[in-house]
Amino acid sequence: MRYTYIYYVLFSAFIVMTSCNLEREVEIVLPDYDSQPVVECYLEPGRPFRLLLSRSNAYFDPFPGQDDLLSFLDDILITDADVVIRYDGEEVTLRNELRVDPTSLKIFNYISDRIVPERFDLDYELEIILSDGTTIESQTRILEPIPIDSIAVEFDTMDMARTLVYIIDDKSEPRFYRRMLHFGSLDSVPQQDFLADNSVVDNGLLVFGSGFQSEIGDTVINTIFRLDRAYFDFQVSVRGSIAANGNPFGQPGEIFSNVTGTANAIGIFTGLTFDRVTTIIEQ
């Protein structure tokens, strides 16, 4: 029995030592990446017409340091395009000018002083002509926002509060939502940010809740965006692509787009409406 034990120990040690030489470096040759134009344009009633037009980068391209951000923007932003949005017989030309939205921190490089009208019966057409003559086109509408019907505040036994947001939805048509929850202010990191549709409606009510994590005096900001199907699918694909980046065995994510044309672009052109309620937690 003793010799069997010694043999087992020596054999295990042999396996460990020899396995140290099993590592091999494998060089994977990736195909050249073809950069594509990328469009993001959100029509928000009461705000100026704004659009971001840039170029996509390869996944393994180096990300710039803080000192190189301006050079990085110069490389990826497309600044020599003709951008026009048409609606109801009107034509809005967007000029190339870099702007940052202080609320959403989104960057736009094509803007107009014209304000997006608060109308929900208009068709909007986007036309972009790049310097090489290729085109990007899309169409969309601005959907009427779904109002928040009510917000309830509930307390647990430790006097910690949660909010419940109620929306009336009768499922007569497919509807798509983005729910965001902020504490304190809109420039904070959202505590919740997810997508939903009205397939989960029960008894005509759609309910979004939070955890018991607020105290008396806290500010809770609930925002419900109404999305069209194209923007919903775009958001799902973007989030899926981000998740796939961390999985070495996953398939590369494919971004859903509602832009067409000869420029082989990707992106989204959509209306953006929401209802928002700010609640101060009180006993």
- In contact, 162 and 154? CB cutoff 8 Å: yes
* Band of pLDDT at residue 74, cut at 50, 70 and 90: confident
| Reported confidence tier of residue 283, pLDDT bands at 50, 70, 90 | confident
Least confident segment among 87-91, 207-211, 229-233, 245-249: 245-249
- Is 145:275 a contact under the CB 8 Å cutoff? yes
pLDDT of residue 9: 47
Domain spans in the chain, listed from the N-terminal domain onward: 37-144+227-272, 150-225+276-280
In 10 A of CB 206, how many CB atoms?
22
Cα Rg of the chain (Å, integer): 26
Q: What is the CATH number of domain 150-225+276-280?
A: 2.60.40
Which uninterrupted H or E stretch holds 114? strand 107-115
Average pLDDT for 13-36: 61
Query: Cα separations (Å) of 184 from 150, 180, 187, 281?
Result: 20, 13, 9, 11
What is the arithmetic mean of pLDDT over 62-74?
Answer: 65
Nearest to 39 by CA among 265, 272, 273: 265
